[in-house]
Amino acid sequence: MAEPVLEVRGLKKHFPVRQGLLGRGVASVKAVDGVDFAIHPAETLGLIGESGCGKTTTSKLILLQERPTAGAIVFEGRDIAALTGKSLLAYRRAVQMVFQDPFSSLSPRMRVEDIIAEPLEIHTDLSRGAIRARVEEVLDLVGLPPDVAPLFPHEFSGGQRQRIAIARALATNTRLIVLDEPVSALDVSVRAQIITQLEHLQRTLGVSYLFIGHDLATVAHISHRIAVMYLGKIVESANSDTLCARPLHPYTQALFAAALPSHPDDPRPDRTIAGEVPSALALPSGCRFHPRCPSAMPVCSQVEPVLQVSAAGHQVACHLY
Amino acid sequence: MVAVLQVSDLQTHFFSFGGTRVVKAVDRVSFTLHEGETLGLVGESGSGKTTTCLSIVGLVPRAARIVGGSIVFEGEDLAKKTEREMRRIRGRRIAMILQDPMASLNPLFTIGRQVAEPAFFHQHLRGGALRARVQQLLRAVRIPSPEWRMRDYPHQMSGGMRQRIVGAIALAGGPRLVIADEPTTNLDVTIQAQYLDLLKDIQRELGVALIFVTHNLGIVARMCDRVAVMYAGKIVEQASVRELFDDPQHPYTRALIGSVPKLGSKEPLYAIPGQPPNLASLPSGCHFHPRCPHAEGRCMTEEPGEFHLGDGHVARCWLLEHEAEAPHGRTRP
């Protein structure tokens, strides 16, 4: 297989919790606690988990909005922590982001053409005419006519705005786009448009996606591989088809049990897991999932399981396997 | 089965610019709900599902007015009630659960006091009897150690617990009808599953009728007995949940079902073209025609009426005209 576009190794981000007058660190929130994954060219990695599992912190680390506590992010063979000057700019150009809510991610005071041109002005020395041409080109890529360029975001519906956000992310010949719940804020009837568009763009441009989501069916549909996160750790990762056919980790199984049916006659799960995600400030000992796990054993509360290969391309962190 | 609620030809309009502009948020909506039954009201934002519910409880915004139709609840027409009379029904015989529990709970009062309110006003419980009732309600929504938790404030609870508290308040008056407006949108998937199970259990126990407003067909498949699909203020299709998923008739329903990803299937999704319409400037004829793959000349000029297809399956689409005319329900090619 080709060299990965992005590789994350042992990535950790701990946020200190300060208390008292002197602001002494009394504890730390282990938002991301040892995460490894790789994204290959033209591949989509789905990152799935509930709120507080660290998926958004992971995306911030990749976008250099936060500095990791430990671990490395390697982009096309180079550690991004070591990038400076021109090479850092090149990285920022190659990795872009699309946010969940297109109503707050686009400036209401900028015209569509300026929104899309901004990254080009920062990152390239194209002439004004060339930028204009590129803006029209990416608008066409996301299925918007060129005459929308002089309009303002408020003149568009949610789905169209998300297309503008995708166009902006694509403008600089992007290699990797981080998509943080890109369809959750959209109307149901336009979600499929955006997903189909993203899949089409990947086929034609070879761009890679990190798709962050909480809806299993959507993530499974668009992703080639899926990593399931729970409290800062990846508990299972596998090919999308493999994972859907045979989820191994009890938490992944619980997510599948909690997933909504696509037909009233679909078999109903006999049980959904009890309890709620514990606070990241007071992590359970051993396996972080053991207090909610239906198959917890004595060892689970003592020893933390590590991610191990259970079958080709299928990794799981659980004492059961 | 006893009909708890019968909504017929309900029309709720919004008036602006001194009544010169009218937006038909709810346009001739009819449905019937029986004891212990769950009706799913499905639609996108702006389809009129929330306004329909607000009309039932008499809480439509100032700019809106019920201009036609009736809402018969246990034999009485709610559309004709005064605000004073409605106040005695709301919170007692009809309860509502809203989307955001943080917005529907008062942050300054303990949850015990908030759960107690309906029982205090409607059933005039006081002292120990009131406390016992609150604890019973909290236990019913599975709040652990309710005698302690009733002294807590909403911010001390997790999102899932807060939504369960809202559920307890809804049940406090002993309602016959509960309207849940997207109650799980803000919850995580495993918490959502717990909450849906809980609602189902409570409903089975108490036999209340439930209107479940959602945009999520998965929730409908899991929770509902009947479904009404709304588009641009109208119910475009209504059927039993099985019938709707097995044999959807309206092109919008079909498109909606085809556009939702199914677990374990990589089949391409059906992308409905265009955007949901703006209610202030609706397309002529059938409001769905600009996005409909089967639209023909007549769809653009004439609005389709309701076609009855048997077994309570109703759809508003010109394509069904001939099928519906057949005397014994349907004759399909």
The per-residue pLDDT for range B281-302, each reduced to its tens digit, is 899 999 999 999 999 999 999 9
Could you tell me which chain B residue has the CA closest to the CA of A53?
A: B188
Could you tell me which chain A residue has the CA closest to the CA of B269?
A: A192
The string of pLDDT tens digits covering residues A282-297 is 888 999 999 999 888 9
Of the partner residues A188, A193, A273, the one whose CB lies closest to the CB of residue B256: A188
Of the partner residues B245, B263, B271, the one whose CB lies closest to the CB of residue A259: B263
Distance separating alpha carbons of residues B44 and A185, to the nearest angstrom: 11
Residue range A48-68: mean pLDDT, rounded: 91
The pLDDT score that the predictor gives to residue B331 is: 41
The model's confidence at residue A25, banded by pLDDT at 50, 70 and 90, is low
Identify the CA nearest to A226 among candidates A236, B267, A184, A198.
A236
B144 part of contact set with chain A, CB < 8 Å: no
Crossing angle between the packed helical segments A128-141 and A188-205, to the nearest 10 degrees: 120
What is the DSSP secondary-structure string of A147-165?
Answer: GGTTS-GGGS-HHHHHHHH
Residue range B130-148: mean pLDDT, rounded: 91
Residue contact A192–B269, C-beta within 8 A: yes
Q: How many CB pairs under 8 A join A and B?
A: 126
Residue contact B261–A195, C-beta within 8 A: yes
Residues of B in contact with A191 (CB under 8 A): 259
Residue contact B262–A217, C-beta within 8 A: yes
Residues of B in contact with A272 (CB under 8 A): 190, 193-194, 197
A191's torsion region: left (phi>0), alpha (psi -120 to 50) or beta? alpha
A257 part of contact set with chain B, CB < 8 Å: yes
Could you tell me which chain B residue has the CA closest to the CA of A192?
A: B271
- Report percent pLDDT > 70 for chain A: 97
A192 part of contact set with chain B, CB < 8 Å: yes
The pLDDT score that the predictor gives to residue A321 is: 85
The pLDDT score that the predictor gives to residue B310 is: 87
Residue range B182-200: mean pLDDT, rounded: 88
The model's confidence at residue B333, banded by pLDDT at 50, 70 and 90, is very low
Contact A264, B221 (CB under 8 A): yes
Cα angle, residue B186 at apex, residues B185 and B189 outer, rounded to 5°:
80
Residue contact B263–A217, C-beta within 8 A: yes
In this predicted model, which residue has the larger pLDDT, B91 or B29? Answer: B29
The pLDDT score that the predictor gives to residue A274 is: 78
Does pLDDT of B329 surpass 70? no
Could you tell me which chain A residue has the CA closest to the CA of B264?
A: A244
Could you tell me which chain B residue has the CA closest to the CA of A160?
A: B275
Whether ipTM tops 0.90, in short, is no
What is the DSSP secondary-structure string of A280-313?
Answer: TTSPPSSSTTGGG-TT--GGGGTS----EEEETT
Of the partner residues B218, B245, B255, the one whose CB lies closest to the CB of residue A260: B218
Of the partner residues B191, B222, B272, the one whose CB lies closest to the CB of residue A261: B222
The string of pLDDT tens digits covering residues B239-282 is 999 999 999 999 999 999 999 998 878 888 998 888 888 888 89
Does pLDDT of A87 surpass 80? yes
A282 part of contact set with chain B, CB < 8 Å: no
Could you tell me which chain A residue has the CA closest to the CA of B197?
A: A272
Residues of A in contact with B261 (CB under 8 A): 192, 195, 217-218, 220-222
The string of pLDDT tens digits covering residues A117-153 is 999 999 988 999 999 999 999 999 999 999 999 999 9
The pLDDT score that the predictor gives to residue B328 is: 45
What radius of gyration do chain B's Cα atoms show? 21
The model's confidence at residue A51, banded by pLDDT at 50, 70 and 90, is confident
Of the partner residues A196, A266, A277, the one whose CB lies closest to the CB of residue B271: A196
Distance from CA of B283 to the nearest CA of A (A): 16
Residues of A in contact with B158 (CB under 8 A): 276
Residue contact B269–A277, C-beta within 8 A: no
Does pLDDT of B325 surpass 70? no
Q: Which of A26-30, A74-78, A135-139 has the lowest mean pLDDT?
A: A26-30
Does pLDDT of A96 surpass 90? yes
What average pLDDT is seen over chain A? 91
Distance separating alpha carbons of residues A47 and A60, to the nearest angstrom: 13
Residue window 112-171, chain A: list those with CB within 8 Å of chain B. 157, 159-160
Residues of B in contact with A277 (CB under 8 A): 188
Residue contact A191–B259, C-beta within 8 A: yes
Residue window 230-289, chain B: list those with CB within 8 Å of chain A. 241-242, 245, 255-256, 258-266, 268-273, 275-276
Residue window 59-88, chain A: list those with CB within 8 Å of chain B. none
Residues 6+ apart with CB under 8 A from A61: A11, A13, A32, A67, A68, A73
Residue range A229-243: mean pLDDT, rounded: 94
B82 part of contact set with chain A, CB < 8 Å: no
Residue range A253-260: mean pLDDT, rounded: 90
What is the DSSP secondary-structure string of A39-105?
Answer: E-TT-EEEEE--TTSSHHHHHHHHTTSS--SEEEEEETTEEGGG--HHHHHHHHHHEEEE-S-TTTS
- Residue B301's beta-bridge partner residues? none
Does pLDDT of B330 surpass 80? no
Q: Which of A154-168, B45-59, B265-279 has the lowest mean pLDDT?
A: B265-279
Residue range B55-64: mean pLDDT, rounded: 93
How is residue A253 written in tokens? Answer: 């199984």
Distance from CA of B213 to the nearest CA of A (A): 14
Does pLDDT of B4 surpass 80? yes
